[in-house]
Amino acid sequence: MRPFEDVRIVDLTHVLSGPFCTYQLALLGADVIKIEEPVHGDYMRRRGSDNRLRERHMGDHFLSQNANKRSLAIDLKDPRGASLVRRLAVDADVLTENFRPGVAAGLGLSYEDLSADNPGLIYLSLTAYGGGGPQSGRGAYDNVVQAAAGMMSGTGVPGSGPLKTGTPVLDYASGAMAAFAVASALFQRTHTNRGQFIDMSMQDTAILLMGTAVMNELHGGKTHKPHGNDHALAAASCYEASDGELIMLGCCTQTQFEQLCRLLDRDDLAADPRFRDVNRQDPYRDELVAELAAVMRTRTAREWEASLADTVPAARVGTLRETLTSEHLEGRGVLQKLPETAGAGAGITVPAAAFSFAEDGPRIDRSPPVLGEHSKDILMESGLNEADIATLVRDGVVATPVVSSD
C-alpha cells in the first residue's frame, strides 16, 4: 500500500506549482480530484512543444504533471459550481488552491467556510507572496517571483545583468515544498484529529533556496551578485578543456582538494602555503584558478571526467538530451511512460518522482485526464443522480469529455 492511498484531495490549483504538488501526492496513491474551468480547463493544457497535443487540450506540459488524477470540470463562478466543491470538501482529507488571497473566500471556499463542515480538513493555500503582508494581493508566476525575491540579482555572469533561471525552479520547488507541508499536516492529524490551514508562499520558497546568499547578506555583509560558473573555491569552479568543452569541478573539502591535486599530478599545489588550507585560499583564489585552468586545458572534457569523476566531484558540462538518453537515467525510474492517453496516444514519457521506495513507491497508474473525464463519476460518488448532473451539464455548470482518443 502506498502512503496516501486512503487520502482524497480536492485540487483547485492550476498552471504548475500547485499541480506539481498534487502530482507528487497522486504518484504516492492519493485520489486527486482536479477541479478545472469547464471550457478550456487548466492553462497548461494549451502549453507545450507538440501542436497536435495542444490543439486537443492535452499539451505535453499538462501531461507532465497530471497523471493519476481525475478531472472534474466545474464553473466555480456559478453558485451551483462552488456548492459542488463544498459538497466534495465535506469528505475530503485535503483541499489545495493557488488563487490570489481573497478569491477562495469570495467563492465561499475559504478554510473557515469548509472546515466548519469538515474539522479534519487540511487546506493548502499556495500563493506568490503569502496570505498576509503588503504584497499578498499580487498575483505572479515563477519568473516574476524570481525577480521580486532577489534570485535574478544573483544569477548570471558579471556584466550580464540579472537573469532568471533556465527552468521554472521556483514552481517545482514550491510544489515539492507544498507536498511536504501537506504530508506533514496529514501526519500531524494522526495525533491531533484536527485539520490545518497551510499558508504557502513561492517567495518564501525562494528565500529557502537562497539560504547561503541570505546568510551572506544578513551576517557577512556580502551583496548577492552573479558569479556565473565561478565558485568562491577555485577547485569548485568551471574550466575550459582542450576541446573547448567545459568541465565543472566540485572539490570543496580539504580531502577533495588534495585528491584533485594528486589526480592532476600537481601535488605541489596542495603543498603550496597559499593553497594548502582550502578555508584560507580566498586571498590567493585568482592564482589558484590560473594554475588549475592551465592544467585543465591539457585534456578534453570527456577525458577529465573519466579520470576524475570516480574519485572527486567532477562532470563534463553536458546537454539535457545526453542525460535523458543515458543508460544511467534509464535505470533510475525518474522517467516513466504514460498508459494509453485519450487525446494523446501511447508511449509518452514524463518525469515522475525523484525518489523510489523498495516497496509501494511512486508510480503512474492512470493517464492524465481529458477535461471533465471523470465529472459524472465523481458527482455520482458525491450523491448526485444522473438527472441532477444532466441539468448541470445543460446549464454549463459542469462539463463532460469532448476530446476523442483517436
Pair (273, 308) in one structural domain: yes
Check whether residue 202 and residue 242 sit in a common domain.
no
Mean pLDDT for 28-56 is 97
Mean pLDDT (whole number) for 276-293: 98
- Over residues 132-178, the pLDDT tens digits come to 999 999 999 999 999 999 999 999 999 999 999 999 999 999 999 99
Share of the chain above pLDDT 90, in %: 95
- Can you list the pairs that 137-144 forms with residues at least 24 positions away whose Cβ atoms lie under 8 Å? 137/100, 137/101, 137/102, 138/100, 139/100, 140/202, 141/15, 141/168, 141/171, 142/16, 142/17, 142/168, 142/169, 142/170, 142/171, 142/202, 143/168
Number of domains within the chain: 2
The CATH number of the domain holding residue 167 is 3.40.50.10540
What is the mean pLDDT of the segment spanning 369-387? 98
Average pLDDT, the chain: 96
Q: How high is the pLDDT of residue 347?
A: 87
In a domain, 2, yes or no: no
Same domain assignment for residues 101 and 143: yes
Q: What is the CATH number of the domain that holds 279?
A: 3.30.1540.10
Mean pLDDT of the 188-217 span: 98
> Which of 283, 307, 324 is where one domain is finished?
324
Full residue range of the structural domain in which residue 32 is found: 8-209+332-399
Q: Are residues 362 and 283 in the same domain?
A: no
Domain assignment present for residue 17? The answer is yes
Lowest mean pLDDT: which of 11-20, 55-64, 113-122, 222-231?
222-231
- 78 and 169 fall within a common domain: yes
For 300-343, how does the pLDDT look when each residue is reduced to its tens digit (9 = 90+)?
999 999 999 999 999 999 999 999 999 999 999 999 999 998 88
> What residues act catalytically?
231
The pLDDT score that the predictor gives to residue 342 is 86
Contact yes or no for 179/29 (Cβ under 8 A): no
Q: Does 346 reside within a domain?
A: yes
Q: Are residues 361 and 307 in the same domain?
A: no
Let me know if residue 228 belongs to a domain.
Answer: no
| Reported confidence tier of residue 402, pLDDT bands at 50, 70, 90 | low
CA gap 65, 22 in Å, rounded: 9
Whether 285 shows a pLDDT value over 50: the answer reads yes
Q: In the predicted model, what is the mean pLDDT of residues 194-203?
A: 98
**Do 190 and 253 belong together in one domain?**
no
Q: Are 129 and 194 members of one domain?
A: yes
